[in-house]
Homo-oligomer: A and B are copies of this chain.
Amino acid sequence: MTEQAATPATEEYLAVIYRLSRQAEPVPLALLAEQLGISPISANEMVRKLARAEMVTYRPYEGVTLTEAGRQRAEVMVRRHRLWERLLTDVLGLPWDAVHAEAGRLEHATSDLLERHLAQYLEQPSTCPHGNPIPGQPQRLEGARALSSLATGERGRVLAVVNEDAALLRALGQAGLVPGAELEVVAAEPALGSLAVRVGDRHVALALAAAAQIMVGAPEGQGS
Give chain A's interface residues, CB within 8 Å of chain B: 1, 88, 91-94, 98, 101-102, 105-106, 108-111, 113-114, 117-118, 120-121
Contact = CB atoms under 8 A, between A and B. Distances in A.
Given A93-B121, A106-B106, A109-B109, 9 more contacts: A88-B114, A88-B117, A92-B114, A92-B117, A92-B118, A92-B121, A94-B114, A94-B117, A102-B111
Contacts of A110: 105
Contacts of A111: 102, 105
Contacts of A117: 88, 92-94
A65 B118 CA distance: 38
Contacts of A94: 113-114, 117
Given A108-B109, A109-B108, A109-B109, A102 B121 contact: no
Query: How many copies of this chain does the complex contain?
Result: 2
16 contacts: A1-B101, A88-B114, A88-B117, A91-B121, A92-B114, A92-B117, A92-B118, A92-B121, A93-B117, A93-B120, A102-B113, A102-B114, A105-B109, A105-B110, A105-B111, A106-B106
Nearest to A91: B121
A-B pairs with lowest CB-CB distance, top 6? A105-B109, A92-B117, A109-B109, A106-B109, A92-B121, A102-B114
A18 to B, nearest CB: 20
A178 B94 CA distance: 33
Contacts of A1: 98, 101
Contacts of A121: 91-93
Contacts of A108: 109
A109 B88 CA distance: 13
Contacts of A109: 105-106, 108-109
A94 B101 CA distance: 25
A102 B2 CA distance: 10
A113 to B, nearest CB: 6
A37 to B, nearest CB: 14
A89 to B, nearest CB: 10
